[in-house]
């Protein structure tokens, strides 16, 4: 079975990573969603891709880590998308979890670069525990030390290892990392059949990002890909 993720929710239909974007994806029939988490000044988990707010509201040039959740909740991040979403605010992870059906797969990406949120792994696992949501979860990150920390705290949780640049024999790196990785999430640009086959031989699933073109998607499926992250509802709802 190929498992496709609505990348940041349905980001072409509603502001990325917000509750409406997640609802669109879920209501449309997505089997999996992807979202990014960061920590506020008062160490609450909010769902946003950038470490700065600016792209979502130019009046707020600051960093997520410098706002409290109460302050974040006063900031409109929907108007830049369209007037229809004026007043939409960033969601907490807890708010998103509350609308997710039990069988939905949720990929939670820890955004830990360039700012490193010390202890975000503990906060994330506590949130998942409190919300009784420790299954159907993949925790991923480009920060492999964050994955190591998650594994130390909860060895049972599924881990997704994100890759950006091409690497020499990344399957050997992953195998030798000591991490109990279930899936590798490479940039799509270099994800070809040989790459997928090599990771499969080592026992890892391959979920490339971000695949929006149907022809490219069809080729990856024919090469045995396990799923993709996509902004295109024609791909993530099927």
Residues that bind ligand G3P (CB under 6 A): 7, 34, 36, 49, 109, 140, 162, 185, 209, 229
Query: Among residue numbers 35 through 64, which ones bind Ca ion (CB under 5 A)?
Result: 36
Considering the complex, state which of residue 48 and residue 174 has its C-beta at the smaller distance from Ca ion: 48
Q: In this structure, what token pair is assigned to residue 217?
A: 């998607």
What does 121 interact with, of Ca ion, ligand G3P, none (CB < 5 to 8 A by kind)? none
Min dist CB 224 to ligand G3P, Å, is: 19
Considering the complex, state which of residue 74 and residue 189 has its C-beta at the smaller distance from ligand G3P: 189
CA distance 34 to 47: 10
| Catalytic status, residue 187 | no
Considering the complex, state which of residue 60 and residue 209 has its C-beta at the smaller distance from ligand G3P: 209
Burial of residue 61 (CB within 10 Å: 0-12, 13-18, 19+) is: exposed
Considering 49, 187, 200, 223, which one is annotated as catalytic? 49
Min dist CB 8 to Ca ion, Å, is: 7
Q: Is 143 in the site for Ca ion (CB under 5 A)?
A: no
Q: Which stretch binds Ca ion (CB under 5 A): 54-62, 79-87, 107-115, 219-227?
A: 107-115
Distance between alpha carbon 27 and the CA centroid of its chain, in Å?
19
CA distance 182 to 162: 11
What does 185 interact with, of ligand G3P, Ca ion, none (CB < 5 to 8 A by kind)? ligand G3P
Min dist CB 107 to ligand G3P, Å, is: 6
Beta bridge partners of 140: 109, 160
Which long-range CB contacts under 8 A does 114-119 form with residues at least 24 apart? 114/51, 115/51, 115/63, 115/65, 116/143, 117/38, 117/39, 117/65, 119/43
Measured in degrees and rounded to the nearest 5, phi and psi for residue 95 equal -65, -40
Degrees to nearest 5, angle at CA 29 with 28 and 32? 115
Considering the complex, state which of residue 71 and residue 179 has its C-beta at the smaller distance from ligand G3P: 179
* Residue numbers annotated as active site: 7, 49
């Amino acid at each position: 079975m190929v498992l496709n993720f609505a990348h940041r929710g349905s980001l072409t239909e509603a502001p990325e990573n917000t509750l409406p974007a997640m609802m669109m994806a879920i209501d449309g029939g997505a089997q999996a969603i992807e979202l990014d988490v960061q920590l506020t000044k008062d160490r609450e988990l909010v769902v946003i891709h950038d470490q700065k707010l600016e792209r979502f509201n130019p009046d707020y040039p600051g960093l997520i880590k410098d706002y409290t959740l109460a302050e974040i909740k006063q900031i409109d991040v929907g108007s830049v998308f369209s007037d229809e979403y004026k007043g939409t605010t960033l969601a907490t992870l807890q708010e998103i979890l509350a609308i997710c059906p039990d069988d939905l797969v949720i990929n939670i990406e820890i955004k830990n670069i360039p700012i490193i949120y010390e202890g975000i792994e503990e906060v994330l696992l506590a949130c998942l525990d409190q919300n009784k949501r420790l299954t159907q979860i993949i925790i991923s990150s480009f920060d492999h030390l964050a994955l190591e920390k998650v594994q130390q705290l909860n060895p049972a949780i599924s881990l997704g290892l994100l890759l950006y640049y091409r690497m020499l024999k990344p399957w050997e790196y992953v195998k030798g990392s000591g991490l109990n990785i279930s899936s590798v999430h490479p940039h799509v640009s270099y994800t070809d059949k040989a790459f997928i086959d090599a990771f499969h031989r080592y026992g890892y699933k391959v979920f490339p990002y971000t695949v929006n073109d149907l022809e490219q998607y069809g080729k990856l499926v024919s090469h045995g890909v396990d799923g993709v992250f996509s902004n295109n509802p024609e791909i993530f709802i099927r």
